[in-house]
């Protein structure tokens, strides 16, 4: 029987992670498998809250693992994937779920059915929407120099000319093949992970799912957006990141790594130049009194400073393999 391991990574959102696990349990009805909640060294009592909640609810299909350090989102999911199913078995599929995301009852079944019917598909993602039902961006193109310029300029004529490079795709109305899908809700084929590796743990947060989808594509596998798998996502609960706040250093680290690792350092520098040029276009529009969007506070300054600090460095080797020992779990 096909089995699914659900991985939920928690960092200081224990009650919400338990709610996500409850929704995932309902969505696992009739499917063989289990749920692993990984606490990424929250150091705020989260682990105790998680263990007490699992025990109180009597969830025999849910276990809690302490990662021992906050290595980031990809690293936390890797802990669950390496540990496998309770008893040491390996799942056929891994379903990665944000702690602030809640799958509808049929969401996991829809992903599983799609992947069983399409053996060429390595990764499948859900249609994700907010609590009010408004669609979130959940299907995307890969990042490029063109997308960097377009996204920073935020200017209608430029966006129309560069429409083929805009990263967020219009929400698909039916199941569609895409470049990458949001990491809030995605299913991974274990046999493909065995071939291409797990999440690259050098990404603390952001770009890790994009990197994984790109590696799968380069190995000849597909990524699909499955429209009838629906998930409610609150968003930015544990990260606190929004477009109205200054972006943290790890966003710039992850962005740089994605370009430099996958396309080379020269391309990463060129992509940074394209984004900086887009920022200047946006700044000029605002200076001339045009009503327009804006980048996060100090974005251009932080982008250039980060590039000057890191542009000369070699990209460190990819971190994360499928063979490391599992972390400590609940007996």
CB 77 within 8 A of CB 320: no
Across all residues in the chain, what is the average pLDDT?
92
Q: What is the DSSP letter of 283?
A: H
Q: pTM for this one?
A: 0.92
| Sign of the dihedral defined by the CA atoms of residues 184, 68, 189, 320, in that order | positive
- The span from the CA of 266 to the CA of 259, in Å, is 9
Q: What are the residues whose beta carbons fall under 8 Å from the beta carbon of 127, sequence distance 6 or more? A: 135, 138, 171, 172, 225, 226, 227, 228, 229, 230, 231
Tokens found for residue 290: 């045009």
Domain boundaries, the chain: 3-135+171-240, 145-162+241-319
pLDDT tens track for 53-94: 999 999 999 999 999 999 999 999 999 999 999 988 999 999
- What is the average per-residue pLDDT within 300-316? 87
Pinpoint the alpha helices (H) of 99-141. Answer: 107-117
The predicted model gives 296-314 an average pLDDT of 89
Are 322 and 197 in contact by the 8 Å Cβ rule? The answer is: yes
Q: Which residue has the tokens 């947060």?
A: 205
Report the pLDDT value the prediction gives residue 237, as an integer from 0 to 100: 53
- Predicted local confidence at residue 316, as pLDDT: 75
CATH topology for 3-135+171-240 is Spore Coat Polysaccharide Biosynthesis Protein SpsA; Chain A (3.90.550)
CB of 9 within 8 A of CB of 65? no
Token reading at 260:
């430099």
How far is it, in rounded angstroms, from Cα 314 to Cα 312? Answer: 7
pLDDT digits (tens, 9 = 90+) for 138-168: 999 999 999 999 999 999 999 999 999 999 9
């Amino acid at each position: 029987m096909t089995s699914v391991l659900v991985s939920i990574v928690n960092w200081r959102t224990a009650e919400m992670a338990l709610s996500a696990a409850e929704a995932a349990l309902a969505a696992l009805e009739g499917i063989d498998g289990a749920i692993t909640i990984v606490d990424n060294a929250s150091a705020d009592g989260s682990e105790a809250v998680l263990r007490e909640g699992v025990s109180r609810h009597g969830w025999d299909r849910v276990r809690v693992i302490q990662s021992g350090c906050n290595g980031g989102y990809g690293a936390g999911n890797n802990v669950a994937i390496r540990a496998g199913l309770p008893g040491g078995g390996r799942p056929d599929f891994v379903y990665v779920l944000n702690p602030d995301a809640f799958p509808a009852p049929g969401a996991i079944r829809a992903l599983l059915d799609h992947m069983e019917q399409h053996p060429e598909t390595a990764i499948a993602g859900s249609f994700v929407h907010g609590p009010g039902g408004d669609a979130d961006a959940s299907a995307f193109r890969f990042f490029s120099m063109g997308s960097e310029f377009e996204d920073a300029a935020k200017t209608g004529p430029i966006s129309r000319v560069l429409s083929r490079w805009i990263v967020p795709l219009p929400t698909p109305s039916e199941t569609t093949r895409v470049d990458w899908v949001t990491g809030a809700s995605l299913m991974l084929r274990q046999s493909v992970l065995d071939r291409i590796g797990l999440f690259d743990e050098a990404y603390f947060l952001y770009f890790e799912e994009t990197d994984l989808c790109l590696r799968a594509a380069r190995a000849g596998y597909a990524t699909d957006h499955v429209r009838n798998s629906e998930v409610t996502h609150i968003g930015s609960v544990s990260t606190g990141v929004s477009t109205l706040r200054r972006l943290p250093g790890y966003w710039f680290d992850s962005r740089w790594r994605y370009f430099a690792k996958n396309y080379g350092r020269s391309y990463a520098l060129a992509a940074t130049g394209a984004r900086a040029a887009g920022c200047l276009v946006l700044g000029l529009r605002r200076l001339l009194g045009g009503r327009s969007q804006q980048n996060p506070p100090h974005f251009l300054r932080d982008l250039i400073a980060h590039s000057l600090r890191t542009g000369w460095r070699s990209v460190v080797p990819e971190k994360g393999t499928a063979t490391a020992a599992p972390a400590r779990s609940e007996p």
